[in-house]
Structure 1
Amino acid sequence: MTLSVNAAAERFEIAGGFKISRETRTHAQVVVVTLTDGEHTGRGECVPYPRYGETLESVQTQIADIAAVLRDGLTRSALQEAMPAGAARNAVDCALWDLEAKKAGKSAAELAGVGLLKPVTTAFTISVDTPEVMAEKTRAAAHRPLLKVKLAGPGDDERIAAVRKAAPESTLIVDANEAWDESCFERNMAACEAAGVALIEQPLPSKSDDLLAGITRSVTICADESLHPGKSVDGLRRKYDAVNIKLDKAGGLTEALKLVDQARSQDFKIMIGCMLGTSLAMAPAVLIAQKADFVDLDGPLLLARDRSPGLRFEGSTLFPPQPELWG
């Protein structure tokens, strides 16, 4: 039977807003792809990434352009060649996984060969702000075992010291979103080492991250923006110790599973990350989380309202998705 294909834009308010080094947001904007064969329905969600020129409109256009071949039975394997890596392909790929699982009467994890999904501990994000405001927000989250701290460049040494003082027991990972440069790199690195930070995500702009090659450090440095959409991990090992795999950049669960294997073969640590989306966007990433060293899938925790049904969280413990949500 011919598939029905729909791509709808949705908005979800962010509780208290969300601020990183290059933008401030009040709402999560997502695109949801729904595929229906008349009996079964599969869904996938993506978050357009402005850094790579993606918008709600451009993603919906990409999906509309592929709709005809989807209706005729385009496979997940063929999809990898039919669409470029990015948010649009992620939503379609995850919807196909969900549809396949529903039709087979099996979980997506079983179809992927991942095995029985287990609960994981996710990071909880502290937005960038003044040291005083970040310390206040951190104190409210200090009971969480893993905190992800957004940074912004100059002054990050004071920010990370304030956060560490406010959460002395939590494991800290930090994300500079490419905001450091040579003027503050050494000072910020030293502050992170002094605070016992476990991982620094993308400290330098991807175009000028050669500074990372060969430097001695005690903190794991993780590539995010330097792992470009549609690219492999090849060539990153001399600069990075870990890679952040995001389904929206990989272009879906199918490619993300391959990236995990590539990363492990090159002795990278693995972080599974997310854009700011709902439980529907996080659900497929839970499969990757089973093999990850660091899990950052707190998108739904940052929303004023998640979709229903959503993922189950108990504190920072994230439980596998139920079939009613995805997979």
Structure 2
Amino acid sequence: MRLSLTVTSESLPLARPFRISRGMKTVADVVVATISQDGVEGRGECVPYPRYGETIEETVATIENQRASIEAGAGRRDLLETMSPGAARNALDCALWDLEAKLTGQSVFELVGTDRPVRVETAMTVGLDTPEVMAKAARELATSPLIKVKVDATDSAAQLRAVREAAPLPRLIVDPNESWSISQVDDLQGLLLELRVDLLEQPLPADNDGALRGYVSRVPIAADEALHTLSDLAGLPDGYNVANIKLDKAGGLTAALALAEVAQARGMQLMMGCMISSSLSIAPAMTLAPRCSFVDLDGPLWLSRDREGGISGSEGYLTGPAPQFWG
């Protein structure tokens, strides 16, 4: 048995700018780890995220630091002990899952005991902009089953009204990306109900969300930036009702599966989220999608060109990648 590790970084252009309350991006910067054994390759992609202090260079270096252990046969459980959660571990973990699936002839869905869905309903994102521009974007998504609306603290009511008027039928997720205060959460409760919003995602800063302790929202609230790993669950304010799991935050599919199990046991609904990425990041995340009340995996649909054989999207639904693409 001969294992080898390869690490590369790529900048994938977006078809259009993606804007949230923290800024705008025009490319998806990703790192890909490839682990080979006997001519069979397993791949994993991650997105180093500046919000969490990650860079492309440091992520590549962190993966390179694991070369000796990976090539000596370290497995997914070993990485949980030797690496911190985050993008680097995610790439290696997903590469190991892919490699195991291809070596054993079993899909990752079979390995984790989950049925492979024929298609997955995903949120389609309306990026932050003026109400007029956001209405135009929402109108193009009006036949999708679920829309996610990026807002900030400046003009949320007008932005949300414009989106709902343009798209009266889809379920709505509102995502302020930590930009609101608790007074805004409180003041906008009536509007969120009026506009039939299904979920409010991380309205308060993750390091200043204590006001959600004991808070009873009229719309479910998801923890995103406030929830990375299993160890974060115990300290979450009880005002959060939904756990937004992302493989890059959790540090891989292995850790994400454990987080999902405990979050559900605590009575939380699950949401599967992603960074802007290629289908190589999204294919592993789809393993958890059947267990989730909300799925937000439209990352590859923002690219000007995705990886060949990747996930396809139409009318707010994702169809899995070609055989042998991943897992």
Q: TM-score range by the shorter chain?
A: over 0.9
The structural deviation recorded for 1:184 is: 2.9
Conserved 8 A contact 1:127-1:149: yes
Does 2:221 correspond to 1:227? no
Q: Deviations over 1:103-149 (max 9, x none)?
A: 00110111112233342100100100111111111111111110000
Conserved 8 A contact 1:128-1:149: yes
Conserved 8 A contact 1:157-1:187: no
Does 2:253 correspond to 1:253? yes
Q: Deviations over 1:24-49 (max 9, x none)?
A: 00001100111111321000000001
Counterpart in the other structure of 2:288: 288
**1:91 maps to amino acid:** A
The structural deviation recorded for 1:271 is: 0.3
The alignment partner of 2:235 has SS state of coil
Counterpart in the other structure of 1:109: 109
Q: Distance in 2 between matches of 1:110 and 1:308?
A: 24
Conserved 8 A contact 1:151-1:174: yes
Alignment of 1:66-215 (within 5 A): 66-182=66-182, 184-215=184-215
Q: Deviations over 1:170-213 (max 9, x none)?
A: 11101111000145333333322221100000000012212222
The structural deviation recorded for 1:232 is: 3.8
Conserved 8 A contact 2:122-2:318: yes
The alignment partner of 2:283 has SS state of helix
**2:308 maps to amino acid:** S
Does 2:11 correspond to 1:14? no
The structural deviation recorded for 1:160 is: 0.6
Conserved 8 A contact 2:215-2:238: no
Q: Distance in 2 between matches of 1:106 and 1:2?
A: 21
Conserved 8 A contact 1:263-1:270: yes
**1:115 maps to amino acid:** D
Q: Deviations over 1:280-312 (max 9, x none)?
A: 100001111010000000011111111111113
Conserved 8 A contact 2:280-2:326: yes
Conserved 8 A contact 1:154-1:184: no
**2:101 maps to amino acid:** A
Normalized against structure 1, the TM-score is what? 0.96
Counterpart in the other structure of 1:262: 262
Runs of 5+ consecutive residues of structure 1 not aligned to the other structure: none
**CA RMSD for the aligned pairs?**
1.4
Q: Distance in 1 between matches of 2:25 and 2:309?
A: 24
**Range moving further from structure 2, 168-177 or 227-236:** 227-236
**Range moving further from structure 2, 184-193 or 207-216:** 184-193
Conserved 8 A contact 1:86-1:229: no
The structural deviation recorded for 1:230 is: 6.1
Counterpart in the other structure of 2:56: 56
Q: Distance in 1 between matches of 2:285 and 2:87?
A: 14
**Range moving further from structure 2, 228-237 or 42-51:** 228-237
Conserved 8 A contact 1:132-1:162: yes
Q: Distance in 1 between matches of 2:127 and 2:279?
A: 20
Conserved 8 A contact 1:230-1:249: no
**Range moving further from structure 2, 108-117 or 183-192:** 183-192
**Range moving further from structure 2, 42-51 or 313-322:** 313-322
Count residues in correspondence.
327
The structural deviation recorded for 1:19 is: 0.3
Q: Distance in 2 between matches of 1:75 and 1:163?
A: 46
Q: Distance in 2 between matches of 1:271 and 1:237?
A: 17
Conserved 8 A contact 1:84-1:230: no
Normalized against structure 2, the TM-score is what? 0.96
Q: Distance in 1 between matches of 2:254 and 2:184?
A: 38
**1:5 maps to amino acid:** L
The structural deviation recorded for 1:6 is: 0.8
Runs of 5+ consecutive residues of structure 2 not aligned to the other structure: none
Conserved 8 A contact 1:289-1:295: yes
The alignment partner of 1:290 has SS state of helix
The structural deviation recorded for 1:237 is: 5.5
Conserved 8 A contact 1:34-1:95: yes
Equivalent pairs: percent with the same residue?
A: 47
Conserved 8 A contact 2:247-2:253: yes
User: Could you say if the C-alpha distance between residues 291 and 118 of structure 1 is closer, same or farther in structure 2, counting changes exceeding 3 Å?
Assistant: farther
The alignment partner of 1:10 has SS state of strand
**Range moving further from structure 2, 151-160 or 210-219:** 210-219
